[in-house]
Chains A and B, each alone.
Chain A
């Protein structure tokens, strides 16, 4: 089946540093989504991308939908302690399927 390769698996950074994580696939996706999940909570949508090449920002977060439709990245600038959590990429494959394919997540730790 289709898979998303998300990296890195975990990151340990200092407060104020910038962070970058990405997802790649061998398949084409129509939509890329980035979610953040806190412990014991459901994923919260951060950014949704619908067009190849699209670059979208949400505060300190910026994400891009790769031109090839096979990858996406998420950047977080000037990290703060509340950025701690697990970040998941998710994609909706081409072909009209309504199901999402999820990456395995990037666990972010921010040291004050």
Chain B
């Protein structure tokens, strides 16, 4: 199989605090993971590509100092939303690329972030 988990599934925080979201590939290794953001009733918007052992690649318009990405191992990538504000409230979804054959991306269940 190809299972991707995310933790936490839901988080509520106060403005100005930082929140860390974990993305794990449970039964395969992934040198590349992706972080997406999804607004209500919209499609997924790619934020950044997370590369194990190197810096993440951010999409245009995404602040790298605001959304810190660390790909510490072949099965774990973390996204930290720093100094969160209400406009950062969203559904954050990660995916991991299964490199065992077809490079297909499998998605995590998502994290609902609410900033008060």
Binding site for B on A (CB under 8 A): 31, 33, 35, 40-45, 48, 50, 88, 90, 92, 98-100, 102-105
Given the contacts A50-B102, A98-B103, A105-B43, A42 and B110 also touching, CB distance less than 8 Å: yes
Question: How close is B67's CB to chain A, nearest CB, in angstroms?
Answer: 17
A104 touches B42 (CB 8 A): yes
Q: How large is the interface on B (under 10, 10 to 19, 20 to 34, 35 or more residues)?
A: 20 to 34
A104 to B112, CA, bound (A): 20
CA distance A103 to B42 in the complex (A): 10
| Closest 4 A/B residue pairs (Cβ) | A42-B107, A42-B110, A42-B109, A43-B107
User: For residue A92, which residue of chain B has the nearest CB?
Assistant: B103
Within 8 Å by CB of B104, from A45, A104, A105, lies: A45
Q: How far is the CB of A11 from chain B (nearest CB, A)?
A: 15
Nearest chain B CB to A93 CB, angstrom units: 13
In the complex, whether B97 has a CB less than 8 A from a CB of chain A is: yes
Interface mask (B15-50 → A, CB under 8 Å = 1, otherwise 0) = 000000000000000001010000000111010010
Question: Residue on B with the closest CB to A104?
Answer: B43
Q: Give which listed residue, B42, B49, B112, contacts A99 with CB less than 8 A.
A: B49
Contact in complex: A40, B112 (CB < 8 Å)? yes
A48-B102, A98-B32 given as contacts; is B107 within 8 A of A35 (CB)? yes
Question: Which residues of B have CB within 8 Å of A48?
Answer: 102, 104
- The answer to whether B109 and A88 have CB atoms under 8 Å apart is no
B106 CB-CB contact with A under 8 Å = yes
Is B90 engaged at the interface, CB distance under 8 Å to the other chain? no
Query: Which residues of the other chain, A, contact B105 by a CB distance below 8 angstroms?
Result: 33, 45, 90, 100
